[in-house]
Amino acid sequence: MNDKTKYQIMKNREFLKGYHAGDAGAEQTDQEQKLPGISSLKRKKHRNVIPLPAEFNKLGISGDIWDLIMGRESCRKFLPEELTLPELSFLLWATQGIRKFAGNKNPITFRSVPSAGSRHPLETYLFANHVKGLEKGAYHYLPDEHALERWEVEDDYDAQLTRALCGQHFAAAAPALFVWSALPYRTEWRYGLKAAKYILLDAGHMCQNLYLAGGSIGCGVCAIGAYDQDYMDEILGFAPGPSDNPLYECTVYAACVGKKKRNASDA
Ligand SMILES: Cc1cc2nc3c(=O)[nH]c(=O)nc-3n(C[C@H](O)[C@H](O)[C@H](O)COP(=O)(O)O)c2cc1C
């Protein structure tokens, strides 16, 4: 390991840490300075959206929490079966769905997953490859409407997606691929330098919900951390960083989903 790498690793280790007693006199956060924050809901691009079914009682959600946790494993081989729209709807709800709104002037959302300060910095993009009732393509999830909007990507994105996933074709070709981005300023506004750590913690909770919710409806999931940052951001149309734009957005995580084969773990 050369000195430059060692230095960067030491800096990264510091990033893992929480508050230090000496931080008390540090610069005020933007919230403390009474600067306006940004919404935890990205403004939709399209008027026409695809509403998602919200009755989950017909899905046959099964398993007690013990079975779901014991049976949780990463799945990289899927049955050649489509996901259904109610199944996908449930998985989107389980990962970013809104349980309640609070506040009037600057409403905040409480969702199916925890988030530091309920800032909810994450957005969900979905590549639907085999979902019954949903045209193949990319979508953006709108948690407040529990709906999807089309997201403009090239029609024939398969090869691009495999490249963006560092050659992981099983994930690119899965019935559904969730790609999660962060708008860091949502969290930075309140937590300043601690925000990056919290955003990644939020992402972990969310993906675990996808594993458990998937397991409850016979779906397998594989978390994907190995992706090409620049290429994935380009596919989704995010401006390249570094940037101090409050609306700056970048990919942080992904996961693929499909109907589960028995003995599907292939780690
Ligand atoms: C942050 C993170 C990133 C991961 N990235 C990948 C990935 O890019 N490709 C992959 O096949 N598995 C990936 N995985 C899945 C792990 O390989 C898997 O969790 C591990 O092998 C343990 O297996 P299990 O999930 O079945 O317990 C990732 C898991 C996590 C938590």
Give the residue extent of every domain in the chain. 59-259
- What confidence score (pLDDT) does residue 38 get? 96
Pocket test for ligand 1, best of 163, 222, 263 (most atoms within 8 A of CB): 222
Q: How is residue 78 annotated by DSSP? A: B
pLDDT in tens, 97-145: 999 999 888 889 999 999 999 999 999 999 999 999 999 999 999 999 9
pLDDT in tens, 217-250: 999 999 999 999 999 999 999 999 999 999 999 9
227 contact partners, CB below 8 Å, separation of at least 6? 164, 165, 166, 251, 254
Terminus-to-terminus CA distance in the chain, angstroms? 27
- What confidence score (pLDDT) does residue 266 get? 47
- What confidence score (pLDDT) does residue 267 get? 47
- What confidence score (pLDDT) does residue 26 get? 79
- What confidence score (pLDDT) does residue 107 get? 84
pLDDT in tens, 68-81: 999 999 999 999 99
Provide the percentage of residues in the chain whose pLDDT is more than 90. 89
Ligand 1 center–CA 222 separation, angstroms: 6
Q: Which atom of ligand 1 is nearest to the CA of 227?
A: 8
- What confidence score (pLDDT) does residue 27 get? 86
**Is the Cβ atom of 226 under 6 angstroms away from ligand 1?**
yes
- What confidence score (pLDDT) does residue 262 get? 66
Mean pLDDT of the 153-175 span: 96
Please tell us whether the domain made up of 59-259 is placed in CATH 3.40.109.10: yes
Identify which of 49, 53, 137, 128 has the alpha carbon closest to the alpha carbon of residue 87: 53
Ligand 1 center–CA 220 separation, angstroms: 13
Site of tokens 């996933």:
165
Is 37's pLDDT higher than 60? yes
Q: What number of other Cβ atoms are within 10 A of residue 74's Cβ?
A: 16
Residue nearest to atom 21 of ligand 1 (CA): 267
Mean pLDDT of the 245-258 span: 98
Mean per-residue pLDDT of the chain: 95
Identify which of 109, 138, 85, 106 has the alpha carbon closest to the alpha carbon of residue 38: 106
How far are the Cα atoms of 146, 158, 240 from residue 138, in angstroms, in the given order?
16, 11, 20
Ligand 1 center–CA 57 separation, angstroms: 30
**Is the Cβ atom of 223 under 6 angstroms away from ligand 1?**
yes
Backbone angles phi, psi at 221, to 5 degrees: -135, 145
Question: Which region holds residue 167: left if phi is over 0, alpha if psi is between -120 and 50, else beta?
Answer: left
Is 21's pLDDT higher than 90? no
User: What predicted TM-score, i.e. pTM, was given to this entire model?
Assistant: 0.96
- What confidence score (pLDDT) does residue 63 get? 83
Q: What angle do CA 132, 138, 144 make, to 5 degrees?
A: 85
Q: What number of other Cβ atoms are within 10 A of residue 16's Cβ?
A: 8
Residue nearest to atom 23 of ligand 1 (CA): 74
- pLDDT-derived band of residue 263, with 50, 70 and 90 as boundaries? low
**Is the Cβ atom of 263 under 6 angstroms away from ligand 1?**
no
Is 253's pLDDT higher than 70? yes
Ligand 1 center–CA 205 separation, angstroms: 14
Higher pLDDT, residue 25 or 5 = 5
Mean pLDDT of the 178-197 span: 97
Mean pLDDT of the 158-167 span: 97
Site of tokens 């594993």:
211
Identify which of 46, 200, 235 has the alpha carbon closest to the alpha carbon of residue 121: 200
Residue nearest to atom 14 of ligand 1 (CA): 223
**Is the Cβ atom of 201 under 6 angstroms away from ligand 1?**
no
